[in-house]
Chain A
């Protein structure tokens, strides 16, 4: 079946089997390998992307279900003038070790900060509770989120 969706602002159209999962569509058909394919069972969260503005686990969404919708992946986080503060925060605070969970963690973080610009540590832990870091680097991930929240606030004050 022919499906068309917008990924990071670009319209993408492909002929796919109905059973193709969104994560494989993004990685194998479109070639955006920043979205990672992990557990296959909607547990690990490595495959998190935004679907119509909401984070979802793309291993448990059919590509066909995204037909006509908007998808945002980690490749769509960077702005014209540089990295998103979330990406910067993960760099500054060593929020990634092996990097496998990072795309999903960052997309969930961006969504959290869009809805709650000043989250408590508990709120951050809750927000990423559906995502696993096999390096167990959660403390640094939380620091990274806090860095992003603090620097987004600074930007908002100075601009």
Chain B
């Protein structure tokens, strides 16, 4: 039987309450949202928090998808299933729907939250790549106020983020810009598994040229889940097959995959390039209004 090690349980009734509990209980306290990353880690003794602060009552405050100030804003307690089902998300950032469809399985998606996934900071996590591609910002709240951090600066390493011990990630903000098309491509060993490799691409077209672009990669050791070298190579260019191939080669080159049970490093490097090309083509087609 796998059971977590002993801990004290608290339940927060508001964001302020959760932060006050974090401050009072100290660095050995952890927030638990859906718990589908943290509880398995605790069962394996990879995590041993002394206090768990259950924030599921914060769904009333932090589970939402809305458009505000020209941004798509998603509350941290929004369950994966609700992001997947959201027409607003589909309209503004189809990549997130692609990604959510291949995160775990429908029952796990009923419980897991986007904030929990981001803060778990698993190096193979899908939304980290998607939000990196979308050039999203996360809102991190503490007792003294809130700060905004670029999604690309959220992670400091495997399972580590800039979110402090008495801070809480409360929202993800994705800028809404014209000419947008996005797509997410993942290769997994079986449905619902972690990625062997996955790539999210977001393009903002200006006529026939790529005005701006974000390329996010997961599970392949890409620094900050992104590939600025490939982005720079495409910005201001037309998405021709030749340019796509050049960007894919850069994505393949500028990652650092590790061999594990999901495959050898060279295979993952190959996937990083191929999936970049596939996601690019679909993102560009979607920007042109084609249902790709």
Contact = CB atoms under 8 A, between A and B. Distances in A.
B37 to A, nearest CB: 9
A89 interface: no
B164 interface: no
A108 interface: yes
Given A40-B43, A65-B56, A18 B35 contact: no
A127 to B, nearest CB: 6
A9 to B, nearest CB: 21
B263 interface: no
Contact of A130 (B7, B43, B56, B104): B104
A93 to B, nearest CB: 22
A149 interface: no
A36 interface: no
A57 B35 contact: no
Interface stretch (B105-113, B125-133, B167-175, B249-257): B105-113
Interface in A48-91: 48, 54-57, 60-62, 64-65, 67
Nearest to B38: A60
Given A55-B107, A55-B110, A127-B106, A60 B7 contact: no
Nearest to B111: A56
Contacts of A1: 9
A126 interface: yes
Kindly state the interface size class of chain B when it binds its partner: 20 to 34
Contacts of B46: none
B9 A60 contact: no
B54 interface: yes
A61 B111 contact: yes
A65 B35 contact: yes
A145 B2 CA distance: 32
A110 to B, nearest CB: 13
B255 to A, nearest CB: 28
B7 A19 contact: yes
A62 B9 contact: yes
A136 interface: no
Contact of A19 (B6, B104, B106, B108): B6
B107 A57 contact: yes
Interface residues of A, number: 28
A62 B107 contact: no
Interface in A101-121: 108
Interface of B: 1-9, 11, 32, 35-36, 39-40, 43, 52, 54, 56, 104-108, 110-111, 191-192
Given A60-B35, A62-B39, A40 B107 contact: no
B35 A61 contact: yes
8 contacts: A19-B7, A54-B110, A54-B111, A57-B36, A62-B32, A62-B39, A62-B54, A131-B105
A13 interface: no
A33 interface: no
Contacts of B43: 40-41
Contacts of A57: 36, 107-108, 111
Given A19-B7, A40-B2, A56 B40 contact: no
A130 B35 contact: no
Q: Sorted from nearest, which 6 A-B pairs have the closest CB atoms?
A: A130-B105, A18-B9, A130-B107, A40-B2, A19-B4, A64-B9
Contacts of A65: 32, 35, 54, 56
Given A24-B1, A57-B111, 18 more contacts: A18-B6, A18-B9, A18-B52, A19-B6, A40-B2, A41-B40, A42-B104, A45-B105, A55-B107, A55-B110, A57-B36, A57-B107, A61-B39, A61-B111, A62-B32, A64-B54, A65-B32, A129-B191
